[in-house]
Amino acid sequence: MKIDRLIAIMNYLLRHGKTSAQKLSEEFEVSVRTIVRDMETLGQAGIPIQSTCGADGGYSIMDTYILDRKVLTHQDYDHIITALYALLSAYADKSVKQTMDKLLPFYAHADAIAEAGESCRQSGASSARGQGRGVFSESTGNKGRGRTVQLDFGVASENRGINDAIKILESAIMQQRTVSFRYTNNENVVKQLEVEPVRLEFKWYNWYLIAFHLEHQDYCMFKLVRMEEIVVLERENTVNHKERDIVLQDDRKVIAVTLRGNAAVRAKCREYLNGEITKELENGGFEFQFCVPESEVYWYGVILSFGNNVTILEPQSVIDRILATCDEVQKHYEKDGGE
């Protein structure tokens, strides 16, 4: 429908800024002429559309424009609040809490006013300001449904040292200043580095810093738990990284591992190794395959914890690695036992 496309175009321009008519036509799968008419319609509706000509021209919305909350449905608010709670669980920053305080009153009252009158509206406000996480199931503003999805990334904020590092790095990012730190890589090599921080990311159950490596003149990813002695330097960044489209390629070597397991570890294989059962065997046994970065230690530790409940079938490199590890562990304990 045209109204849906108009709202989508408006949101796209608010997110991406100035965009050419050609790009918009490709994004929304309509002709350039249709985009031009849509821009005229948005302008007539009071949306401050700006048009610039030339090779770098396009359409944009004035920076002073604020989206009317009536455009958002109750489900839209539900998605926004759920995402904010997830962010808050991983990143206890005051600004996120302030954003929540701004949105919760609108969210909690959205349907309550029409359905239950002023008394329900006040009840919803009390819940929103009080219990926080419980507002969605208790407030009549959500029609008794509660949130269907809740994301909790609390594991991301359990390490106090990481939280302190996040504050330092966020300050450096905001000031666009270089940072130095001591870093231990995956091969246990320790180096003193200076980088230009770009952003923080939480992925693979860990916090990472995306930064411009001055020595390599390229963007790299650093795991915060491996960073020590972080210092913000007085030197400003050499590049405005905000204007760059930074995409990091995961160049880690990925291998496919196949194992045979017994019934005792069936559930744990599916839970911890994120693969699939490829063949059912007798007495609850099974064959299981999963793909992992070869250098990561988590999956390898999981395999070792299964003991004789699993047998690696391939690749041979993993079999050799396990045999070598077991041999080293045995020699270590035999040595300690003989002293």
Residue 225 has a pLDDT of: 94
- pLDDT for the residue numbered 94: 74
pTM: predicted TM-score of the whole model, two decimal places? 0.63
pLDDT tens-digit series, residues 180-209: 999 999 889 999 999 999 999 988 788 999
The pLDDT tens digits for 49-81 are 999 988 888 999 987 776 654 566 777 878 888
Alpha helices in the chain (DSSP H): 2-16, 21-28, 32-44, 74-90, 94-109, 112-129, 135-138, 160-175, 266-272, 298-305, 316-338
The pLDDT value given to residue 105: 62
Q: 254-337 maps to which CATH number?
A: 3.30.70
| pLDDT tens digit sequence for 74-86 | 778 788 888 888 8
Confidence of residue 219 (pLDDT cuts 50, 70, 90): very high
Taking the mean position of all CA atoms in its chain, how far away is CA 150?
Answer: 15
Confidence grade of residue 337 (pLDDT, cut at 50, 70, 90): low
Mean pLDDT is lowest, of 65-74, 150-159, 320-329, for 65-74
CA geometry: angle 155, 162, 104, nearest 5 deg: 55
- Report the Cα 20 to chain-centroid distance in Å: 29
Q: Does domain 2-67 have CATH number 3.40.50.2300?
A: no
Determine the angle formed by the axes of helices 94-109 and 74-90, rounding to 10 degrees: 160
Q: What is the spatial distance between Cα 54 and Cα 247, in angstroms, rounded to a whole number?
A: 28
| Encoded tokens for 136 | 């969605």
From residue 180, how far is each of 114, 183, 195, 224, 313 by CA, in Å? 56, 9, 6, 13, 45
Question: Which CATH code fits 159-243?
Answer: 2.30.30.520
Length of the chain: 339
Spans of all domains in the chain = 2-67, 73-142, 159-243, 254-337
What's the number of CA atoms in the CB half-sphere (13 Å) around residue 333? 5
**Distance of alpha carbon 292 from alpha carbon 255, whole angstroms:** 6
